[in-house]
Every structure is written in structure tokens, then in C-alpha cells.
């Protein structure tokens, strides 16, 4: 199932949270070789995890992490501005109607549909919170995944070559795209909406309390 949890709610699901941060360490440092910080518990965390983001997490039947993504509004600190702002011509992406998605992560044992389910959560947030776009930074390997899922972004800028290429992109809100992603994931939209509404209610309003 999909869970939507704020950072300050993760302590209620210790197994899910720990396995998510461990899978992030496994994916980003071990498999991809990124220079990320891993703590003594084997967890990958960064400064954006301290800002009470929303985590969209696929929870496996045993309560562990299958896949996840992290969301923050662009009105505060976000990677697309703080680290990759030069890829958008130096003009910050900042709007209450644009949120950033980062740390798209899949466990080694995740089923094929989990990637689509996690991608769908971005669409659910856009629809549910009345957003116009999701912004994100992604590497070359994700281009094929987005195309396969039927949710390719508008690329604003890129740097690097081959597998080292990094891009910043924007995904517009689109019910048609969301339906297509859900179909590819084998996930009924009604069920996806139910999971979102269970977390935020039918009249969803975000509550991101930023903490240093």
C-alpha cells in the first residue's frame, strides 16, 4: 500500500522509516556511487530530511520499504534551487503551486509496479493540493524510467554526458498522465485516491512545518 507521512510522523512507523533510509543508502551510495552521507545506522539522510517533508512510501506486506519519494514546497529550501539552480539559468523555481520531488528510491526487492506507484504519488499530490507542477532533479537512468511510465518531464536544463548527465525538469499536473501511470502500475486510481485521502482528508491541505 501507499503511505503519505510527514517527517514528524515517521517515528510511528520505525521499521518502515529505517528500511527507507537504509534503501536510500544502498541505492544512492552503494549502487550509484553518489557522495552522500550515511550515518552509523546505515541510513542516508540529508539536510532536506530535517524540513518535515512529505514522504510517499510503498509499504510492503511485512511493513518494510518498497519504494519512496520525498516532497517539499519550492517556497523554501530545495535542491533544484540550492544545488542545481544554475541549470535553470539562475532563476529560482519558487511558487506555492510548485513542489519539488527528490530521492526517488526503490528497494532491491521491489516489484515492477512499485516504480509506477511511487511516480503516481506526485500526480496525487498535484491533484490533491491544487499544484500546477512538480520539479525534480534526475540522472540519465531515470529518463528511460519516466518514458516507460508515460510521465516524461519538460527538461529545463542539463549538464554532463552519458550516464553522468543531470537534469532539472518540470512535470505539469495532468489527470490524463496520472491515469496512464496508474494503468501501467496496475493500480486503480480509486484506490490510489483513497490512500491519499486517508492521509490528508478529502479537502487536502498541506502542513509543512519547517525545522532547522
Q: What is the mean pLDDT of the chain?
A: 93
What is this structure's pTM?
Answer: 0.93
User: What's the CA gap between 212 and 206, in Å, rounded?
Assistant: 19
Q: Per residue in 112-168, pLDDT tens?
A: 899 999 999 999 999 999 999 999 999 888 898 899 888 999 999 999 998 889 999
Q: Are 68 and 19 in contact (CB under 8 A)?
A: no
What value does the mean pLDDT take over residues 167-186?
94
- What is the pLDDT at residue 212? 37
What value does the mean pLDDT take over residues 31-56?
95
DSSP string, 159-196: ES-GGG-EEEEEEE--HHHHHHHHHHHT--HHHHHHHH
Provide the pLDDT confidence category of residue 178 given band limits of 50, 70 and 90.
Answer: very high
Amino acid at each position: 500500500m501507499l503511505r503519505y507521512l510527514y517527517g514528524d510522523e515517521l517515528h510511528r512507523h520505525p521499521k518502515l522509516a529505517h528500511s527507507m533510509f537504509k534503501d536510500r543508502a544502498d541505492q544512492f551510495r552503494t549502487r550509484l556511487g553518489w557522495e552522500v552521507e550515511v550515518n552509523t545506522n546505515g541510513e542516508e539522510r540529508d539536510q532536506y530530511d530535517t524540513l518535515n517533508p512529505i514522504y510517499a512510501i510503498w509499504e510492503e506486506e511485512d511493513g518494510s520499504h518498497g519504494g519512496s519519494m520525498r516532497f517539499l514546497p519550492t517556497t523554501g529550501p530545495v535542491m533544484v534551487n540550492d544545488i542545481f539552480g544554475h541549470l535553470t539559468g539562475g532563476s529560482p523555481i519558487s511558487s506555492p503551486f510548485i513542489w519539488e520531488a527528490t530521492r526517488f528510491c526503490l528497494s532491491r526487492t521491489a516489484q515492477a509496479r512499485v516504480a509506477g506507484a511511487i511516480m503516481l504519488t506526485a500526480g496525487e499530490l498535484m491533484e490533491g493540493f491544487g499544484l500546477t507542477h512538480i520539479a525534480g532533479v534526475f540522472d540519465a537512468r531515470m529518463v528511460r524510467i519516466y518514458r516507460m511510465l508515460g510521465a516524461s518531464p519538460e527538461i529545463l536544463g542539463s549538464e554532463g554526458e552519458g550516464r553522468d548527465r543531470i537534469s532539472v525538469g518540470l512535470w505539469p499536473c495532468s489527470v490524463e498522465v496520472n491515469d496512464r501511470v496508474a494503468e501501467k502500475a496496475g493500480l486503480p486510481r480509486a484506490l490510489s485516491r483513497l490512500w491519499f485521502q486517508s492521509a490528508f482528508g478529502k479537502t487536502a491541505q498541506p502542513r509543512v512545518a519547517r525545522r532547522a
